Amino acid sequence: MNRGRRRFVPPSFVGASVEFVTAQPSTASDNRWIVTLNVNGWPHDITMWAKDELDIMKQVFEFQRGETPENVFDVSA
């Protein structure tokens, strides 16, 4: 059973309008970034692993194509 643990289920971006807003490095020393995307006009904060801004944009383009990148591990509802 899932006793209070968060389960990551990415939303479906197929056919959705995905726009990049901001990307900020996490406060931790690892390669986590908090990326804000507008999905059909609603903001979503997404946490992803990335080396730099170029890596983030590659993952955003995957969202725009309707795919789910493997380096994304947290999506706000």
Summarize pLDDT for 5-62 with one digit per residue, the tens. 555 555 667 777 889 999 999 887 688 899 998 988 888 888 888 889 999 999 889 8
pTM of the model: 0.74
pLDDT digits (tens, 9 = 90+) for 50-66: 889 999 999 889 888 88
- Show the domain range for 65: 18-75
Helices (H) and strands (E) in the chain, counts: 1, 4
Q: Specify if 25 maps to a domain.
A: yes
Distance (Å, whole) CA 16 – CA 37: 12
Q: Specify if 42 maps to a domain.
A: yes
Domain total of the chain: 1
List residues bridging with 18 in a β-sheet: 39
What lies within 8 Å, CB to CB, of 37 at 6+ separation is: 18, 19, 20, 21, 43, 44, 46, 60, 63
